[in-house]
Amino acid sequence: MNSDRDMVLRPLGLDDLHPQLLAGFVRAQTVEQAWRGPHGRWRLQPVRFEEHWDAATLQDIVATDLRHSLAAGGAAWVVEVGGQVVAFATLCRPPLGRHGQYVQLLQLHVSQPWRGRGLGRRLLLQAARQARGWGAARLYISGHSSLESYAFYSAMGCLPAEEVVPEIAQREPCDLQLEYRL
């Protein structure tokens, strides 16, 4: 396995979006506990399921989420090692919230073999810098409710969102609606 020195964080442009961009990316997670309950009053519950993205899902993320976000003026970054994407993040525009205080962090994923190396932190901070540059006050995150995912967001200083964006919460009813203050 390559060393951390070989990692390159770079922005994506529309020209970078080809069907195999995320080939080899491992989005796999066994969830044993997840946060459930009313917004901001979550309780850790025993919940068992597995998540795994297949090649078609990875191609769809490139063709829809990444392309739509970039075409609408958003931003996306990848961390690559030897030309292979091992982590990525996507930031959407336009602003959200009653006062336009939020920019949505749509995607933040680290390939399973590369977790625990600070890549998620690097990408979250990169997205925060960009959102701040756009004039946002906070990132809006519809985060996975697993014990491990919420532990990451909590360690980064994310809190329950003061304003829940209904259309986002309805699309992913088990996600935690979070914010990261810039």
Residues 98-113 have pLDDT tens digits of: 999 999 999 999 999 9
pLDDT for 1 beyond 80: no
Q: Alpha-carbon distance 132 to 126, whole Å?
A: 10
Average pLDDT of the residues in 128-153: 97
Q: What pLDDT is stored for residue 112 in this prediction?
A: 96
User: DSSP string covering 73-126, please?
Assistant: T-EEEEEEETTEEEEEEEE--S-BSTTS-EEEEEEEEE-GGGTTSSHHHHHHHH
Residue % of the chain over a pLDDT of 90: 97
Q: What pLDDT is stored for residue 3 in this prediction?
A: 60
Average pLDDT of the residues in 7-22: 97
Burial class for 132, CB neighbours closer than 10 Å (0-12, 13-18, 19+) = middle
Average pLDDT of the residues in 167-171: 96
pLDDT for 160 beyond 80: yes
Query: If one looks up domain 4-181 in CATH, what number appears?
Result: 3.40.630.30
pLDDT for 4 beyond 80: no
- Give first-to-last CA distance, the chain, whole Å: 35
CA proximity to 85, closest of 19, 1, 166, 25: 25
**Residue 5 — very low, low, confident or very high, per pLDDT cuts 50/70/90?**
confident
Name the average pLDDT for the chain.
Answer: 96
pLDDT for 50 beyond 90: yes
Q: What pLDDT is stored for residue 2 in this prediction?
A: 58
pLDDT for 92 beyond 90: yes
pLDDT for 6 beyond 90: no
Average pLDDT of the residues in 5-30: 95
Say how many C-beta atoms besides its own lie within 10 A of residue 113's C-beta: 12
Q: What pLDDT is stored for residue 49 in this prediction?
A: 95
